[in-house]
């Protein structure tokens, strides 16, 4: 959540910061701001709204600055709560949560400090000002020792007009070296021009200057200035011919599935397979869309390994204190590799002596660096807040891993791009159905067996981007209470792809229709008694969860458009959930 960026170098900073913020806007779009230092003063422009609201900041002169795009946690989406926060000689941008800010704020207020926002973040700027006695790093050191929680900070000091200080503690921050200066940002897309990067670790401070960077721990001991190649620097984040990133990224799923299957790490798979006999139980911990992929993955891995495999939401996994030890494998799944709850689950697993496998789309992420076994999806950068192609890539990984553990390969994944093209040809039909869905009072998704995770994910997608109330259910559970929600104002989307469960699923469809609800079936079968059908092309039974997600995503996308909404910027949501 929240995107932060910093630059110091030979070029005018405002344009670089503004472009970086547009690339980070998927992390939060409640407000935006830029601050530049120079001439022993700090100039700042910040406003509620999207990055475009601060376009006039492009005229600000200066070669050193910081920027921020906000997802609101403490304090509403108002001008006063936008970052950067300025106090005296300091300006600060922050990603994370300062958990002890109320105590710090009260202590600072007793010292005469006057606060202008409702945020936790402003306390960092006031602490810096309170501790500053002419030594910048000393003030930073004393400040970070006071802060509790998670924080990535970039800060300016008017006395150091070409310097930026960056601090990381449990929130992502990456330093990049470019041809004409140094940058830092929350995520790789904002560092596209940098040939070299360094992912800061927890407890690290970076001091950036136009000439380079120095690194320190929180005791201000020097650290090696080691950089690695930026493998993502040529990435494009433009929408091209599409109106929205969500639709563009749905269209890229065939490639994402094929590339993830082709790049499956057999050496890492072999390491995991060699140790598989040690595990008496496997947990898969994930959140949101990744959790839904984990539900499918749990079934596939349990079948392949013949040991109990349980998918759990990462936050609840930590809360319930599961039995963990050397005979346990925890597989943590996160698109960004920075999801706070999933990171907590991974750290808990390591602390209790379990082995940790990780699946992420970001090999440079915090979660990836915790792993005993590291696996990657190859979806490419995903900008749309609602996960689409990363979900497809996660499913592809689980199919590939399960096949590998059985001694084979998931050959269908190579053929999926052709199936994907056939699925996209139904978009016109989906667009017409979306008009009916958009006017429903509630939309409910049902599925049995392998179709149940698809129902959960289809419902989540629709809620995320259309704001229509609803839920996903195991089809057999609908009549145990929730069928009371159904009448002629409701729509039910039934995912029916499993041949052995088809008759039971058809019974659920009949029960729904008898209550007056309209039924849309997503199915390869011709005899499901629905009001409308989104047909699926033939494919092997086990792969229908991969095929069925495409029409479900398109239905969510077109329903959002029918309701006049921007599916790329759903309210209250951010792409990467880096706070608990």
Omega into 84 within 30° of 0, i.e. cis? Answer: yes
CB atoms within 10 A of CB 59: 10
Cα–Cα distance, 58 to 441 (Å, whole number): 45
Q: What is the DSSP letter of 554?
A: H
Q: Which residue, of 229, 260, 286, is where some domain finishes?
A: 229
Per the structure block, which two tokens stand in for 482? 């929730």
CB atoms within 10 A of CB 507: 14
Q: Are residues 306 and 196 both part of a single domain?
A: no
Q: Are residues 554 and 573 both part of a single domain?
A: yes
Cα–Cα distance, 98 to 36 (Å, whole number): 24
Cα–Cα distance, 386 to 388 (Å, whole number): 6
Residue located via tokens 């495999």: 309
Strands 328-334 and 41-48: unpaired
Q: Are residues 268 and 299 both part of a single domain?
A: yes
Strands 518-523 and 490-495: parallel
Per the structure block, which two tokens stand in for 137? 């790093």
Helix (H, G, I), strand (E, B) or coil at 495: strand
Instruction: Provide the pLDDT for residue 72.
Output: 80
Instruction: Provide the pLDDT for residue 477.
Output: 87
Cα–Cα distance, 346 to 370 (Å, whole number): 7
Which CATH number covers residue 499?
3.40.50.10490
Determine, yes or no, domain membership for 419: no
Determine, yes or no, domain membership for 421: no
Which CATH number covers residue 74?
3.60.20.10
Phi-psi region of 279 (alpha: psi -120 to 50; beta: other; left: phi over 0): beta
Instruction: Provide the pLDDT for residue 481.
Output: 87
Range of the domain at 79: 3-229
Q: What angle do CA 309, 311, 314 make, to 5 degrees?
A: 135
Q: Are residues 194 and 281 both part of a single domain?
A: no
Identify whether the C-beta of residue 399 lies closer than 8 Å to the C-beta of residue 546.
yes
**Number of domains observed in the structure of the chain:** 3
Catalytic residue among 2, 44, 87, 318: 2
Per the structure block, which two tokens stand in for 369? 């660096």
Q: Which of 445, 386, 398 is nearest to 572 (CA)?
A: 386
Cα–Cα distance, 511 to 483 (Å, whole number): 9
Catalytic residue among 89, 105, 389, 575: 575
Q: Are residues 349 and 462 both part of a single domain?
A: no
Determine, yes or no, domain membership for 420: no
Q: Are residues 221 and 247 both part of a single domain?
A: no
Q: pTM of the prediction? A: 0.88
Could you tell me which residues come within 8 angstroms of residue 131 by beta carbon, excluding any fewer than 6 positions away? 138, 139, 142, 143
Identify whether the C-beta of residue 517 lies closer than 8 Å to the C-beta of residue 491.
yes
Strands of 3-9's sheet in order across: 41-48, 31-38, 64-70, 3-9, 181-185, 174-178, 196-199, 228-229
Could you tell me which residues come within 8 angstroms of residue 146 by beta carbon, excluding any fewer than 6 positions away? 100, 104, 127
Q: Are residues 390 and 455 both part of a single domain?
A: no
DSSP code string of 345-394: HHHHHHHTT-EEEEEES-TTSHHHHH-SEEEE-------SSS--HHHHHH
Quote the radius of gyration of the chain (alpha carbons, Å). Answer: 25
Q: Are residues 222 and 259 both part of a single domain?
A: no
Determine, yes or no, domain membership for 418: no
Q: Are residues 430 and 353 both part of a single domain?
A: no
Q: Are residues 220 and 250 both part of a single domain?
A: no
287 is catalytic: no
Q: Which residue, of 200, 229, 258, is where some domain finishes?
A: 229
Helix (H, G, I), strand (E, B) or coil at 151: strand
Cα–Cα distance, 377 to 132 (Å, whole number): 45
Q: Are residues 217 and 263 both part of a single domain?
A: no
Strands 90-98 and 181-185: unpaired
Determine, yes or no, domain membership for 434: yes
Q: Are residues 62 and 206 both part of a single domain?
A: yes
412-424 and 389-405 are packed helices; what angle lies between their axes, rounded to 10 degrees? 150
Q: Which residue, of 370, 385, 412, is where some domain finishes?
A: 412
64 is catalytic: no
DSSP code string of 271-305: HHHHHGGG-SEEEEEE-HHHHHHHHHHHHHHHHHH
pLDDT tens series, the chain, 580 aa: 689 999 999 999 999 999 999 988 878 888 999 999 977 789 999 999 989 999 999 999 999 999 999 878 888 889 999 999 999 999 999 999 999 999 999 999 999 999 999 999 999 999 999 999 999 999 999 999 999 999 999 999 999 999 999 999 989 999 999 888 999 999 888 887 788 999 999 999 999 999 999 999 999 999 998 898 887 654 556 788 999 999 999 999 999 999 999 999 999 999 999 999 999 999 999 999 999 999 999 999 999 999 999 999 999 998 988 889 999 999 999 999 989 899 999 999 999 999 999 999 988 888 999 999 999 999 998 989 999 999 999 999 999 999 999 999 999 999 999 999 999 999 999 999 999 899 999 999 999 999 999 999 999 999 999 999 999 999 988 888 888 889 999 999 999 999 999 999 999 999 999 899 999 999 999 999 999 999 999 999 999 999 999 999 999 999 999 999 999 989 888 666 655 5
Determine, yes or no, domain membership for 205: yes
Could you tell me which residues come within 8 angstroms of residue 460 by beta carbon, excluding any fewer than 6 positions away? 288, 289, 292, 472
Could you tell me which residues come within 8 angstroms of residue 399 by beta carbon, excluding any fewer than 6 positions away? 261, 300, 410, 412, 413, 542, 543, 546
Determine, yes or no, domain membership for 221: yes
């Amino acid at each position: 959540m929240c995107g932060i960026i910093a630059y110091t170098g030979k070029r005018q900073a405002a344009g670089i910061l503004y472009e970086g913020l547009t690339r980070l806007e998927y992390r939060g779009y409640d407000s935006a701001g830029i601050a530049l230092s120079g001439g022993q003063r700090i100039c700042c422009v910040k406003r509620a709204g999207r990055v475009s609201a601060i376009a006039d900041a492009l005229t600000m002169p200066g070669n050193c600055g910081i920027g921020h795009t906000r997802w609101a946690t403490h304090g509403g989406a108002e001008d006063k709560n936008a970052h950067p926060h300025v106090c005296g000689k300091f300006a600060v941008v922050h990603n994370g949560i300062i958990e002890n800010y109320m105590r710090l704020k009260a202590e600072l207020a007793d010292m005469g400090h006057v606060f202008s926002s409702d945020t936790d973040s402003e306390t960092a700027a006031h602490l810096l000002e309170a501790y500053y006695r002419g030594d910048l790093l000393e003030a930073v050191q004393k400040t970070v020792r006071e802060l509790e929680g998670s924080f990535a900070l970039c800060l300016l000091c008017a006395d150091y007009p070409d310097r930026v200080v960056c601090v990381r503690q449990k929130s992502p921050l990456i330093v990049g070296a470019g041809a004409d200066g140094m940058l830092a940002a929350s995520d790789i897309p904002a560092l596209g021009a940098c040939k070299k990067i360094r992912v800061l670790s927890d407890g690290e401070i970076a001091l950036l200057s136009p000439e380079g960077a120095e690194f320190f721990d929180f005791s201000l001991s020097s650290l090696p200035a080691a950089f690695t190649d930026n493998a993502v620097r040529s990435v494009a984040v433009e929408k091209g011919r599409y109106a929205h990133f969500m639709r563009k990224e749905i269209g890229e799923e065939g490639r994402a599935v094929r590339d993830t299957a082709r790049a499956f790490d057999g050496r890492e798979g072999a390491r995991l397979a060699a140790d598989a006999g040690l595990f008496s139980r496997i947990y898969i911990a994930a959140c949101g869309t990744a959790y839904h992929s984990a539900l499918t993955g749990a079934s596939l891995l349990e079948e392949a390994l013949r040991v109990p495999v349980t998918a759990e939401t990462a936050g609840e996994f930590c809360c319930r204190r599961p039995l963990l030890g050397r005979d346990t494998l925890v597989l943590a799944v996160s698109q960004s590799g920075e999801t706070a709850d999933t990171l907590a689950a991974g750290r808990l697993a390591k602390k209790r002596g379990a082995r940790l496998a990780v699946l992420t789309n970001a090999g440079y992420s915090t979660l990836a660096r915790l792993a005993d076994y590291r696996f990657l999806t190859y979806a490419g950068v995903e900008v749309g807040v609602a996960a689409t192609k990363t979900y497809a890539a996660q499913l592809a990984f689980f199919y590939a891993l399960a096949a590998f553990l059985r001694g084979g390969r998931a050959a269908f994944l190579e053929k999926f791009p052709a199936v994907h093209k056939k699925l996209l040809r139904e978009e016109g039909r989906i667009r017409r159905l979306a008009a009916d869905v958009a006017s429903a009072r509630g939309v409910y998704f049902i599925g049995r067996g392998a179709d149940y995770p698809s129902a959960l994910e289809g419902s989540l997608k629709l809620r995320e981007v259309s704001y229509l109330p609803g839920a996903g259910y195991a089809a057999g559970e609908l009549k145990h209470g929730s069928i009371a929600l159904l009448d002629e104002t409701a729509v039910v989307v039934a995912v029916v792809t499993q041949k052995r469960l088809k008759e039971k699923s058809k019974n659920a469809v009949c029960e729904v229709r008898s209550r007056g609800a309209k039924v849309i079936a997503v199915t390869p079968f011709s005899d499901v008694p629905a009001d409308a059908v989104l047909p699926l092309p033939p494919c092997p039974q086990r792969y229908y969860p991969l095929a069925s997600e495409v029409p479900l995503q398109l239905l969510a996308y077109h329903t959002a458009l029918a309701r006049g909404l921007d599916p790329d910027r759903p309210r209250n949501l951010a792409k990467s959930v880096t706070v608990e």
